[in-house]
Amino acid sequence: MCRHLAYLGPPLSLRELLIDPPGGLYTQSWAPRRQRYGTVNADGFGIGWYPQDGAPPARYRRAVPVWADGNLPDLARTVRSGAVLAAVRSATPGTSQDESAAAPYRDGRWLFSHNGAVPDWPRALTELVGDLTAEDLLAVESRCDSALLWLLVRHRLRAGRPAGPALADVAARTAWACPEARANLLLTDGRSVIATRCGDSLWYRTAPGAVLVASEPFEPPEPFEPPGEEPSGGDGWREVPEHSLLRATTEGVEITPLPAAPAPRPTPPLSERMPTA
């Protein structure tokens, strides 16, 4: 459920990156080729990009199918960036349908997306929220599994935990608490991309000074070379192994296994976590 991507490299227009490529994210909204769960991603979309002046990332999110947004073609034609995170959404049953549930979520320089689903949420994740305060829980951006996972990741980032271990810990604990969950998480600060493969597909492709991480392969724009011309002799896409953590910059990609999650600590009743008068 859902498809997403992150790009780092020479500035491209959003149209070059998202709309024009055959089989790209725009097409994946109605015709994904490797999506294991669901058939279309028509419950909204979002794009986050980093301005070239170094300002915090901007976002454009809608609750409509990406092909139904008449404003997107002009926006995509004129906006250029060298760091982008984008997603098309297939909603988990019982979640919010408004644009607040559409990735990317944002905090400071961080952008986040979730490809997957947590069945029987939020009950399935109650054991993971023991470190969160009532204020944290009340500030969740949207009523959906993705927003709750983002809350857990953001809590770790704000506590000073490095991005890789923060993302890996949330993905591994989610799989421990709910074995049926799919937690492909994607995070960027505009300089690096961190991602987990945990239950759905994930691929990456590199070029000199550029990297593209995506739910499924597609024909990428420049600066990526045409298929068949890479030194490897293939189309350049490489699949990330299941239950893995990916760290990528424009200099290279590192993939490691996700850690086994320790048992979460018991969660005290909400009344014990509420501030007293």
As annotated, the active-site residues are 2
Give, in order, the Cα–Cα distances in Å from 167 to each of 156, 235, 263. Answer: 9, 29, 17
Q: What is the spatial distance between Cα 92 and Cα 120, in angstroms, rounded to a whole number?
A: 10
The tokens describing 272, both together, are 């014990």
To the nearest 10 degrees (0 to 180), the angle between helices 163-177 and 145-158 is: 140
The tokens describing 254, both together, are 């590192």
- DSSP per residue, 160-223: T--HHHHHHHHHHHHHHH-TT-EEEEEEE-SS-EEEEESSS--EEEEETTEEEEESS-----TT
Q: What is the spatial distance between Cα 77 and Cα 13, in angstroms, rounded to a whole number?
A: 6
Specify the pairing of strand 244-249 against strand 193-197. Answer: antiparallel
Q: What is the spatial distance between Cα 139 and Cα 190, in angstroms, rounded to a whole number?
A: 25
Fill in the amino acid letter for 261. Answer: A
Task: Name the β-bridge partners of 59.
Answer: 48
Q: What is the spatial distance between Cα 97 and Cα 65, in angstroms, rounded to a whole number?
A: 12
Alpha carbon 138 to chain centroid, angstroms: 22
